[in-house]
Amino acid sequence: MAKRDFLTVLDLDRDELTDVLDLAARLKKEQHAGTLKPLLANKVLALIFHKPSLRTRVSFESGMARLGGRSIYISNQEIGMGTREAVSDIAEVLSRYVDAIMIRTFAHTWAEELARFASVPVINGLTDSSHPCQILADLQTVRESFPDLTGRRIVFIGDGNNVCRSWMNAARRLPIEVTLACPEGYELDAAFLNAAKKDAGDRIRIEHDPKVAARGADVLYTDVWASMGQEEEAEARKKVFRPFQINRALLDLAKPDAIVLHCLPAHRDEEITDEIMRHPRSHIFDQAENRMHAQNALLVRLLAEPWR
């Protein structure tokens, strides 16, 4: 069977995506019950990091260990991707040593080139344009509150960043609605938005008034206003995005059983108030835990029990 990569949510079709989520739920129950089996025994995962991480590194390393496998952390100081050594050479060498490669980097083209030359699966742990593993965890978390995703309204409050793009890709595979609530000028690029709407139609929307967007939402989702690489814009963004904070008033506009998500790290009392971070309807730390379970399910499907 040909190797599979996971660089964007679109690398899985609807049935495969649903299957990964079902498996993630099962693996989570088994781990909590102490019955998780070593499904990845003797498997080795290489972890390439160009960006710092808490959740990505620990969730992958812990997940591999709990499933009986191993992981190897590799910083760019050690390999000098694209400078000390060509990406294609790194891909071919690592493919002789490990069973899969995860990369967390800046340019999405680096993940694509790595996948092009690797003979083992390559997983995108984050690039500037896509964060698909985060969306697997997010979808798992949403399903824990709303088992039937059909028609669920996810409102992403922030800018059109990699997480937002990945959510819209999810809407191209699943019957959910995704609205980006952002200031004017911070939307997704037109080419991506047109392609997404071609698949998902009016289930993908852009709204510039966060109050309008929040009304009737099942999920209010936010992220930091300035991502890694945008530090110089941080102060200016604080002024522009201030009306887009998730706070008690905004949550009150959503459905009574709506949940709040944040992919972390959070800047409390900027994009989200400390009160809402700690609110009973905040599932942010369940969401963080689910990074491991969702990625475990993905790894099992890529390495041990592929889709039939």
Architecture of domain 9-131+288-303: 3-Layer(aba) Sandwich (3.40)
Higher pLDDT pick, 76 / 296: 296
Q: DSSP for the chain?
A: -----BSSGGGS-HHHHHHHHHHHHHHHHHHHHT----TTTT-EEEEEESS--SHHHHHHHHHHHHTT-EEEEEEHHHH-BTTTB-HHHHHHHHHHH-SEEEEE-S-HHHHHHHHHH-SS-EEEEE-SS--HHHHHHHHHHHHHH-S--TT-EEEEES-S-HHHHHHHHHHTTSS-EEEEE--TT-S--HHHHHHHHHHHGGGEEEES-HHHHHTT-SEEEE--SS-TT-GGGHHHHHHHHGGG-B-HHHHTTS-TT-EEEE-S---BTTTB-HHHHTSTTB-HHHHHHHHHHHHHHHHHHHHTS---
Q: DSSP for 226-265?
A: S-TT-GGGHHHHHHHHGGG-B-HHHHTTS-TT-EEEE-S-
CATH of domain 134-285: 3.40.50.1370
218 is catalytic: no
pLDDT of res. 292 = 98
Catalytic residue selected from 4, 55, 104, 237: 104
Report CA-CA distances (Å) from 22 to 142, 144, 147, 199: 13, 11, 11, 24
108 is catalytic: no
CATH 3.40.50.1370 residue spans of the chain: 9-131+288-303, 134-285
The percentage of the chain sitting over the pLDDT mark of 90, rounded to a whole number, equals 92
Beta partners for residue 205, in sequence order: 179
**CA neighbor of 136 nearest in space, from 128, 124, 127:** 124
pLDDT of res. 55 = 97
Tens of pLDDT, residue by residue over 1-57, are 689 999 999 999 999 999 999 999 999 999 999 999 999 999 999 999 999 899 999
**CA neighbor of 248 nearest in space, from 285, 295, 216, 281:** 281
Residues in the chain: 308
Contact 133, 294 (CB under 8 A): yes
pLDDT of res. 229 = 59
Catalytic residue selected from 4, 50, 55, 131: 131
Catalytic residue selected from 152, 291, 293, 301: 291
pLDDT of res. 230 = 63
- For the residues 186-212, what does the mean pLDDT come to? 97
104 is catalytic: yes
- For the residues 105-117, what does the mean pLDDT come to? 97
Rounded to whole angstroms, the Cα distance separating 35 from 28 reads 10
pLDDT of res. 194 = 96
- For the residues 146-174, what does the mean pLDDT come to? 97
pLDDT-derived band at 234 (thresholds 50, 70, 90) equals confident
Catalytic residue selected from 50, 55, 66, 134: 134
pTM metric for this prediction = 0.97
Catalytic residue selected from 133, 164, 182, 263: 263
Nearby residues of 225 by Cβ (< 8 Å), 6 or more positions away:
158, 159, 234, 237, 238, 241, 267, 270, 271
Contact 141, 290 (CB under 8 A): yes
291 is catalytic: yes
131 is catalytic: yes
279 is catalytic: no
